[in-house]
């Protein structure tokens, strides 16, 4: 069963992170790479000793020895290769976000259900010790009934460049780039309740206003210019769930503030804050704050998620990060974008697939 032989579709920055991680194991072997820009694919193949190079992913999918694919294209190009790969009999690990639109995410989830193959979305923080510890706390019923949460992923000043900021490649901006990490974390801990309504705003007012690099910015891509910014750099939403709970979701690439807070969950028995991981409650008429200590430091989380993907295939287990769960993040993301465009709260529904 080992090594798992995979193909890599897309050889940009995130693909290089995958390749560096996979170079640490002999259990997964990359036997082909593909990119629309042949030079990029060739360079990756030469760097890591990959024997096959393609510019059309359909040719990669036609290789019988390939059992699975990692899809590392830009957001707008996640859907077609995922659906085609699944119907070609290949398991799929697709980078986050699952898709740029709810329509695409639904099609991908449907394809996974139809084929019965593993479709995993690559949100590597799920494999960190803090997240695992928090999930164990919640699953033990320590928090009681969860009624409120906040999901926050913000930079004071850190706009990426390249495909991240263009609608034709990314589809959406900070909401899917860094926001999806916070959203996935909180929804994962809440047990993925079904959202029913979203009210939000989204804009790129600041990104359009600043034309030169800002001293002290954590990230200011050299290839970025305001003219290229056609996605949102700020987004906020309130999300109502079927079970009565409420979520506040906040994300930005640039803002005039040091922080908008962090991920937290309130329950009827206790509350949980994620950074640093802290459990808040009161017992025997006194306040109790507990900071659980993870067993050890995180290793290479990109390697961890690839190994979890491989093990699910080898052992016939469900996807470690199922499409059906990530579909809910796309429902909320789409709801935020639609609400911002409409200027009012919108009803949302999790598609039946």
Ranges of CATH 3.30.360.10 domains, the chain:
126-297+331-347
Given CA atoms 148, 350, 99, 198 in this order, what sign does their dihedral have? negative
Burial of 284 (0-12, 13-18, 19+ CB in 10 A): exposed
DSSP 145-175: SEEEEEEEEE-SBEE--GGGG-TTTTSS-HH
Class in CATH terms, 126-297+331-347: alpha beta
Give the global pTM: 0.95
Q: Any residues with CB less than 8 A from the CB of 50 and at least 6 apart, and which?
A: 8, 30, 31, 32, 33, 44
Contact 211, 226 (CB under 8 A): yes
Closest CA to 75 of 162, 154, 159: 162
Contact 155, 251 (CB under 8 A): no
What 11-14 contacts at long range (C-beta under 8 Å, 24+ apart), as own/partner pairs, is: 11/35, 11/40, 11/41, 11/43, 11/44, 11/72, 12/40, 12/72, 12/73, 12/74, 12/162, 12/163, 13/162, 14/72, 14/95
Task: For residues 120 and 68, give the distance between their C-alpha atoms in angstroms, rounded to a whole number.
Answer: 11
Residue 83: alpha-carbon gap to chain centroid: 18
The pLDDT of residue 225: 78
Contact 173, 181 (CB under 8 A): no
CATH number of 4-123+300-321: 3.40.50.720
The pLDDT of residue 161: 83
**Percentages helix, strand, coil for the chain, rounded to the nearest 5?**
35, 25, 35
Which run of H or E residues covers position 113? helix 102-115
Closest CA to 151 of 239, 276, 257, 218: 239
Q: Is the peptide bond before 97 cis (omega within 30 degrees of 0)?
A: yes
The pLDDT of residue 162: 85
Phi, psi for 54 (deg, rounded to 5): -135, 155
Phi-psi region of 270 (alpha: psi -120 to 50; beta: other; left: phi over 0): beta
Task: For residues 159 and 219, give the distance between their C-alpha atoms in angstroms, rounded to a whole number.
Answer: 6
Ranges of CATH 3.40.50.720 domains, the chain:
4-123+300-321
10 Å Cβ neighbour count for 208? 13
Ranges of residues in the chain whose predicted pLDDT is under 50: none
The pLDDT of residue 326: 98
């Amino acid at each position: 069963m080992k090594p798992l032989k995979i193909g890599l579709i897309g050889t940009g920055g995130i693909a290089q992170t995958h390749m560096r991680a996979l170079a640490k194991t002999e259990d997964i072997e990359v036997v082909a790479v593909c990119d629309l820009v042949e030079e990029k694919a060739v360079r990756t193949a030469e760097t890591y000793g990959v024997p096959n190079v393609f510019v059309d992913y359909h040719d990669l999918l036609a290789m019988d020895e390939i059992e699975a694919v990692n899809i590392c294209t830009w957001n707008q190009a996640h859907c077609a290769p995922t659906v085609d790969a699944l119907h070609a009999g290949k398991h799929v690990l697709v980078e986050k976000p699952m898709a740029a639109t709810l329509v695409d995410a639904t099609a991908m989830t449907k394809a996974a259900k139809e084929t019965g193959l593993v479709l995993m979305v690559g949100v590597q923080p799920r494999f960190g010790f803090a997240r695992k510890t928090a999930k164990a706390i919640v699953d033990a019923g320590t928090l009681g009934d969860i009624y409120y949460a906040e999901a926050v992923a913000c930079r004071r000043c850190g706009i990426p460049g390249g495909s991240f900021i263009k609608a034709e490649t990314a589809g959406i901006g900070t909401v899917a780039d860094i926001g999806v990490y916070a959203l996935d974390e909180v929804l994962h801990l809440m047990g993925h309740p079904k959202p029913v309504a979203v009210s939000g705003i989204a804009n790129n007012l600041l990104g359009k206003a600043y034309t030169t690099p800002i001293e002290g910015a954590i990230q200011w891509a050299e290839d970025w210019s305001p003219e290229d910014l056609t996605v949102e750099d700020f987004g906020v939403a309130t999300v109502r769930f079927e079970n009565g709970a409420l979520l506040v979701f906040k994300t930005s690439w640039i803002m005039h503030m040091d922080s908008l807070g962090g991920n937290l969950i309130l329950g009827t028995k206790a509350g949980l804050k994620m950074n640093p991981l802290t459990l808040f409650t009161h017992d025997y008429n006194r306040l109790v704050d507990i900071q659980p200590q993870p067993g050890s430091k995180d290793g290479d989380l990109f390697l961890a998620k690839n190994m979890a993907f491989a093990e699910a295939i080898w052992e016939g287990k469900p996807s470690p990060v199922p499409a059906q769960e990530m579909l809910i993040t796309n429902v909320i993301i789409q709801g935020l974008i639609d609400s911002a465009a409409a200027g009012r709260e919108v009803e949302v529904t999790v598609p039946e697939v």
